[in-house]
């Protein structure tokens, strides 16, 4: 958070939280103004602060200042047992709790050499794709809102609410689900869940058409996104961008395709790739991802296999409730799991999933005890946000709003 | 309004992005990583190499030439007071047991491979060369490790705290940083709250 205190930045709060200060003496023909943008500006998606040097309306320098939402999630995860740490992963990138659960579960399972049964894998895919849609809904709604399409937010939140209902039906929680856990998933799909999901999949393509009819050919929206925030293929790779940021610049890299996990190789879908590299291309990528996610959901629902939803390993997951009344061994396992937890072997593992924002991964280091030695959350937003300056340089200050929106950085994910 | 004209135009401001502040990349060529490595193996399906901390730039450069050109993340692990004495994968057994492990996770997009480079640092004053000019996003990750672990990166253009306030004391992700040791601000136990002016 150091950038804000640099010399020469004299702050005077103006109306609306926008601070303007003058830096040095103006040279003839060029007057650089330093504008403080955020952290409470509505378009910053939380608490992002940008210190922007502008020459007239042209951006000369952008310095993001982050850390306002730092909650020490990695430290918290270190002080919890492996099965308890699932709950903090929900709160890391709060718009995609299921991706976070998923990557954490995959990392711990990788460390322990555990493979979950097919039904658990299919449920993980279903919930992940639902989460991708709900995450994109927030992005689409707020980005539309920032560019003047106010009704987008209401339409998008309407669909997102249906997904939160689905989350509630299967896990008991609307947002912080902790549904995907090491060893499987929390609960089996209820008949009502499958029915609601079926209805959602049938109705959702029409909603996407509705969004597209509002934005895709909207002249104002096109004017504000086409050719704005250009990121070349080389820059996207060099800046480590992932997700729609990378695919919008023409790089065909989707972890679900390149390094399939949880049985993604079984489903037919396309990675959404656009080559233009501007804000509009990233919009197109995300819209296409919505359609592909619906396709995956349909296939996963139609081919949902029967069978257990958890691995049959009493050292990792508690025994079924019925067994506790009759089996002494089950009681011991139950007691040990809830007093001590389980201890993966010494080593480290990294597992990543393709979230709505890009590569969200978890790196877990085990020292052989029942608490992780280190948990590192690789957050897509943190890395993607670093491309702000590259995209905004030379553009207009009004375009900065579109550019921040298109990165889709979740500040909880950035600051962890 | 073609894309290339609009946003990517003037790149002058990028100069201070670090390119000129970093040390010149050492001369490495394809396959050099095997020579630099002091230990290598596979853990849980992931390939890893341990390199001497002093040669981290060479190692990362060589890995980049081997095709691992995409950066995933960089982080640090504190191995303070491990029950088993010393951290695994340290390479050699002699000398003072290292405390900090730097981990560089790199990807090869062409062949969908992952490589983990490890380097170990001693407890005293952990310093390692910055790689921000080889991999762009390492810039913030290095600041984060500096902030939360207190590891310095020589050659970094702007090594300041990134997540915590500038006046924060200590490095919270170190294992000897007390949990629950700080006063909670704005809570009812906060001193200022209790010593509020009487007339208020």
User: What percentage of chain B reaches a pLDDT higher than 70?
Assistant: 68
User: In this structure, are residues A124 and A132 in contact, taking their beta carbons and an 8 Å threshold?
Assistant: no
- Report yes or no on A49 lying in a domain: no
What pLDDT band is residue A362 in, cutting at 50, 70 and 90?
A: very high
Backbone CA torsion sign across A111, A115, A120, A124: positive
Q: How many Å lie between the alpha carbon of B159 and the closest alpha carbon of chain A?
A: 9
Q: Higher confidence at residue A239 or residue A41? A: A239
What pLDDT band is residue B23 in, cutting at 50, 70 and 90?
A: low
What pLDDT band is residue B56 in, cutting at 50, 70 and 90?
A: confident
User: In this structure, are residues A355 and A409 in contact, taking their beta carbons and an 8 Å threshold?
Assistant: no
In B, minimum Cα distance to A225 occurs at B3
CB contact under 8 A, B72 and A66: no
- B174 in reach of chain A (CB within 8 A): no
Beta bridge partners of B47: B42, B115
Mean pLDDT, chain B, rounded, equals 74
User: In this structure, are residues A381 and A408 in contact, taking their beta carbons and an 8 Å threshold?
Assistant: yes
Question: What interface predicted TM-score (ipTM) does this complex get?
Answer: 0.81
Q: Higher confidence at residue A383 or residue A2? A: A383
Where is average pLDDT lowest: A10-19, A104-113, A317-326, B39-48? A10-19
Tokens of B170: 């200590």
Tokens of A285: 């990528």
Cα(A68)–Cα(B112) distance, integer angstroms: 35
Q: Is the pLDDT of residue A28 over 80?
A: no
Q: Is the pLDDT of residue A85 over 70?
A: yes
**What's the pLDDT tens digit per position in A249-259?**
888 888 888 88
The mean pLDDT value for B119-142 works out to 86
Residue in the structure block whose two tokens are 């005293």: B124
Q: Higher confidence at residue B119 or residue A10? A: B119
The mean pLDDT value for A116-138 works out to 91
Angle at A412 between CA A406 and CA A416, to 5 degrees: 125
Q: Which residues contact A130 (CB under 8 A, 6 or more apart)?
A: A98, A163, A166, A167, A197, A293, A297
- Please provide the DSSP assignment of A228-240 as one string: SS---HHHHHHTT
In B, minimum Cα distance to A259 occurs at B112
The pLDDT value recorded for residue B25 is 54
Q: Higher confidence at residue A12 or residue A114? A: A114
- Report yes or no on A135 lying in a domain: yes
Of B70, B144, B153, B166, nearest to B112 by C-alpha is B70
Strands A49-55 and A32-37: antiparallel
Q: Is the pLDDT of residue B194 over 70?
A: no
* Number of domains into which chain A is organized: 1
Mean pLDDT, chain A, rounded, equals 84
> Which of B44, B82, B134, B164 is the best substitution to test chain A (most A C-beta atoms within 10 A)?
B44
**Is residue B36 helix, strand or coil?**
helix
CATH number of the domain where residue A91 is located:
1.10.645.10
Q: In the Cβ-directed half-sphere of A38, how many Cα atoms lie within 13 Å?
A: 24
The pLDDT value recorded for residue B22 is 46
Q: Mapped to the 3 state alphabet, what secondary structure does A239-258 carry?
A: CCCCCHHHHCCCCCCCHHHH
Beta bridge partners of A364: A349, A375
Q: Is the pLDDT of residue A26 over 60?
A: no
CB contact under 8 A, B105 and A391: no
What pLDDT band is residue A375 in, cutting at 50, 70 and 90?
A: very high
User: In this structure, are residues A360 and A379 in contact, taking their beta carbons and an 8 Å threshold?
Assistant: yes
Q: Is the pLDDT of residue B67 over 50?
A: yes
Cα(A83)–Cα(A337) distance, integer angstroms: 9
Q: Higher confidence at residue A265 or residue B84? A: A265
Strand (E) or helix (H) holding A144: helix A118-146
Q: Is the pLDDT of residue A404 over 80?
A: yes
The pLDDT value recorded for residue A128 is 92
Question: Could you tell me the end-to-end alpha-carbon distance of chain B, in angstroms, rounded to an integer?
Answer: 60
The CA-atom distances, in angstroms, between A94 and each of A29, A91, A123, A138 are 46, 5, 20, 11
- A117 in reach of chain B (CB within 8 A): no
- Report yes or no on A173 lying in a domain: yes
Of B4, B19, B37, B12, nearest to B155 by C-alpha is B19
The pLDDT value recorded for residue B84 is 64
- Report yes or no on A45 lying in a domain: no
Domains of chain B: 31-169 (3.30.460.80)
Q: For residue A56, is the peptide bond before it cis, meaning its omega torsion is within 30 degrees of 0?
A: no
Cβ pairs bridging A and B (under 8 Å): 160
Q: In the Cβ-directed half-sphere of A35, how many Cα atoms lie within 13 Å?
A: 23
The pLDDT value recorded for residue B13 is 36
The pLDDT value recorded for residue A25 is 47
Question: Could you tell me the end-to-end alpha-carbon distance of chain A, in angstroms, rounded to an integer?
Answer: 14
- B104 in reach of chain A (CB within 8 A): no
Query: Taking the CA atoms of chain A, what radius of gyration do you get in angstroms?
Result: 23
The pLDDT value recorded for residue A36 is 86
Q: How many CB atoms lie within 10 A of CB B194?
A: 8
Q: How many Å lie between the alpha carbon of A16 and the closest alpha carbon of chain B?
A: 24
- B81 in reach of chain A (CB within 8 A): no
Q: What share of chain A is helix, strand, coil (3-state, %, to 5)?
A: 50, 15, 40
Burial class (CB in 10 A: 0-12, 13-18, 19+), B52: middle
Residues 27-56 of B with CB under 8 A from A: 43-46
Determine the structural domain holding residue A291 and report its residue range.
Answer: 73-311+344-415
The pLDDT value recorded for residue A16 is 40
- B77 in reach of chain A (CB within 8 A): yes
Q: Is the pLDDT of residue A317 over 60?
A: yes
Q: Is the pLDDT of residue A329 over 80?
A: yes
Where is average pLDDT lowest: A31-35, B62-66, B134-138, B196-200? B196-200
- A113 in reach of chain B (CB within 8 A): yes
């Amino acid at each position: 958070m150091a950038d804000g205190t640099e010399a020469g930045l004299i702050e005077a709060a103006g109306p609306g939280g926008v601070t303007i200060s003058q830096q040095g003496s103006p040279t003839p023909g060029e007057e650089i103004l330093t504008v403080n943008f955020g952290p409470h500006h509505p378009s910053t998606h939380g608490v992002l602060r940008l210190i922007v040097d502008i020459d007239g309306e042209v951006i000369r320098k952008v310095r993001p200042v982050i850390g306002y939402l730092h909650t020490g999630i990695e430290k918290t995860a270190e002080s919890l047992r492996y099965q308890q740490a699932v709950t903090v992963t929900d709160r890391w990138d709060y718009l995609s709790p299921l991706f976070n659960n998923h990557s954490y579960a995959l990392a711990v399972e990788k460390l322990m050499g555990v493979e979950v049964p097919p039904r658990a894998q299919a449920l993980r895919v279903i919930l992940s794709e639902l989460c991708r849609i709900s995450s994109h809904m927030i992005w689409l709604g707020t980005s539309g809102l920032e560019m003047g399409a106010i009704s987008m937010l209401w339409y998008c939140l309407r669909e997102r609410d249906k997904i939160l209902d689905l989350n509630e039906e299967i896990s008991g929680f609307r947002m912080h689900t902790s549904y995907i856990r090491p060893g499987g998933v929390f609960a089996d799909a209820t008949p009502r869940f499958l029915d609601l999901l079926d209805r959602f999949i049938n109705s959702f393509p029409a909603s996407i058409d509705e969004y597209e009819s509002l934005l895709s050919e909207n002249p104002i929206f096109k004017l504000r996104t086409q050719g704005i925030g250009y990121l070349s293929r080389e820059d996207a790779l060099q800046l480590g961008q992932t997700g729609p940021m990378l695919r919008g610049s023409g790089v065909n890299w989707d972890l679900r395709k390149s390094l399939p996990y949880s049985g993604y190789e079984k489903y037919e879908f396309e990675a959404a790739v656009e080559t233009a590299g501007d804000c509009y291309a990233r919009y197109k990528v995300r819209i296409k991802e919505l359609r592909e996610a619906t396709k995956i959901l349909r296939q996963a629902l139609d081919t949902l296999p029967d069978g257990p939803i958890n691995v049959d390993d009493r050292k990792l997951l508690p025994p079924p409730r019925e067994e506790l009344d009759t089996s002494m061994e089950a009681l011991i396992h139950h007691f040990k799991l809830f007093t001590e937890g389980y201890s993966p072997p010494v080593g480290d593992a990294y597992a990543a999933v393709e979230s709505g924002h890009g590569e969200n991964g978890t790196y877990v280091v085990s020292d052989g005890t029942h608490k992780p030695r280190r948990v590192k959350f690789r957050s897509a937003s943190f890395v993607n946000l670093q491309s702000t300056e590259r995209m905004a340089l030379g553009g207009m200050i009004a375009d900065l709003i579109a550019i921040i929106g298109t990165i889709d950085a979740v500040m909880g994910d950035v600051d962890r | 309004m073609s894309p290339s004209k609009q946003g990517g135009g003037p790149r002058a401001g990028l100069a201070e992005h670090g390119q000129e502040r970093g040390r010149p990349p050492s001369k490495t060529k394809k396959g050099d990583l095997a020579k630099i490595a002091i230990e290598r193996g596979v853990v849980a399906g992931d390939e890893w190499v341990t390199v001497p901390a002093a040669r981290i730039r060479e190692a990362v450069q060589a890995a980049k030439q081997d095709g691992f050109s995409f950066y995933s993340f960089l982080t640090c692990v504190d191995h303070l007071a491990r029950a088993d004495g010393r951290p695994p994968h340290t390479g050699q057994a002699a000398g003072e047991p290292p405390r900090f492990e730097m981990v560089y996770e790199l990807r090869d997009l062409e062949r969908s491979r992952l490589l983990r480079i490890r380097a170990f640092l001693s407890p005293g004053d952990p310093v390692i060369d910055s790689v921000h000019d080889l991999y762009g996003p390492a810039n913030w990750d290095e600041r984060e490790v500096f902030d939360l672990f207190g590891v310095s990166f020589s050659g970094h253009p702007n090594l300041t705290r990134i997540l915590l306030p500038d006046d924060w004391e200590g490095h919270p992700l170190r294992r000897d940083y007390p949990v629950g040791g700080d006063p909670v601000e704005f809570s009812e136990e906060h001193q200022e709250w209790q010593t509020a002016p009487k007339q208020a």
